[in-house]
A = this chain, B = another copy of it.
Amino acid sequence: MKRVTPSDIMELLKTAGAGSYISFASGLPDPALFPVDELRLASDHVLSTDGGAALQYGPAEGYPPLREWIAKRLNNRGLRVKEKNILITNGSQQALDLAARVYLNDGDAVCIENPTYLAALQIFDSCAAEYRTVSQDDDGMIVDDVERSLSTDCKLLFALPNFQNPTGRTLSAERRKQLAAILDRSGTVLLEDDAYHDLCYDGPTLPPISSLTTIADTLYSSTFSKSIAPGLRVGYLCGPEHVISRLTQLKQIADLHTGSLTQRIVHWYVTEYDLDAQIEKLRAVYRSKRDVMLSALARSMPESVRWTRPAGGMFLWMTLPESIDGRALLGDAMSQGVMFVPGSGFHQNQQGSNTIRLNFVSAPADQIVSGISILAKLIKSRC
């Protein structure tokens, strides 16, 4: 814990929950799309038919039928895995934390994209890790940078290839193959975070990097937080049996196991209801909101501003002229009722002061339009 300090972004997000802002800041999915009735019926069913087990301690690895279901589902993503390769976690956040704690001792190096998921940086900080940073372009992380980083001693490569948080970028198919080959050569372990897998809006999601390696150990994490609901806190980690075995020991130490009731609710939901129809519903709404934001940006932003065009996920990344500081802009924006997250916190090395992250799925469409209009005026006044 030596290096962990309070995150001003996390503090900001608390404020965001309290006020009546147009918020592009949060990482929250749209609660109007949660399958509340189905989950209520699932909970009722589980407690009516299997209440004793649903309320009892359970195995650290997780509820076996849910692990089996996940393994089958991941085979459809190209991962050749079985139940024994799956550990159930409290969302993918815990999956990343456990993986980092198993692999990283004080001073070990982890290779990350710059920028990357803020809470992953906090995890690596809590392990007192050193960083090797890799730049990105619109096709995701630069593979030559990765090769250079992994040629030094590096325990873990952390990658978020689909609709990355914070940038919304997707790693191209070609680069996935190149990365897999580099991992096979270097022996570095891959930690692949695929939390946004199901939220693809422009055709199918590309195969995980983990499905393309032949020798390297890979850990693949994902979650039901985006497809079903985050408040259940059910995610998972998938990896070689010997690694899952060590991770299971650590899971047991951390909190014994993920909730017996919530795992059974998720399992009943995915087997008795139509998860794919639920995902299609999410895609339709989120795709439309993304398009509303992209149109609003195209209409109103000055030419000196650039932004990503995410093929999925929840976030869009904006690069302002170098003279504009994202934190200063946030102060002005909040005084006019609009929130977003400045991009610097997602970076190592003090970079990204002129970047910001915009969530395009939380706010209603009309608020997206008016919020972007307010932002555009503020930016123009600073250009």
Q: A interface vs B, CB < 8 Å?
A: 1-2, 4, 6-7, 10, 14, 27-29, 31-32, 34, 36, 39-40, 43-44, 47-48, 51-60, 89-91, 93-94, 97, 101-102, 105-106, 119, 122-123, 126, 225, 229-233, 245-246, 249-250, 252-262
Distance of A52 Cα from B51 Cα, bound (Å): 24
Nearest CB of chain B from residue A263's CB, rounded to whole Å: 9
B4, B52, B89, B94: the one within 8 Å of A31 (CB) = B52
Given A255-B94, A259-B231, the answer on whether A55 and B43 have CB atoms closer than 8 Å is no
Chain B residues with CB under 8 Å of A7's CB are: 249
Select from chain B the residue with minimum beta-carbon distance to A234: B259
As for how many copies of this chain the complex holds, the number is 2
Q: Are B252 and A97 in contact (CB under 8 A)?
A: no
Q: Are A55 and B232 in contact (CB under 8 A)?
A: yes
Given A55-B31, A102-B1, the answer on whether A94 and B231 have CB atoms closer than 8 Å is no
Distance of A43 Cα from B89 Cα, bound (Å): 22
Q: Are A253 and B31 in contact (CB under 8 A)?
A: no
Chain B residues with CB under 8 Å of A97's CB are: 253-255
Q: Are A230 and B101 in contact (CB under 8 A)?
A: no
Chain B residues with CB under 8 Å of A51's CB are: 34, 36, 39-40
Distance of A57 Cα from B44 Cα, bound (Å): 22
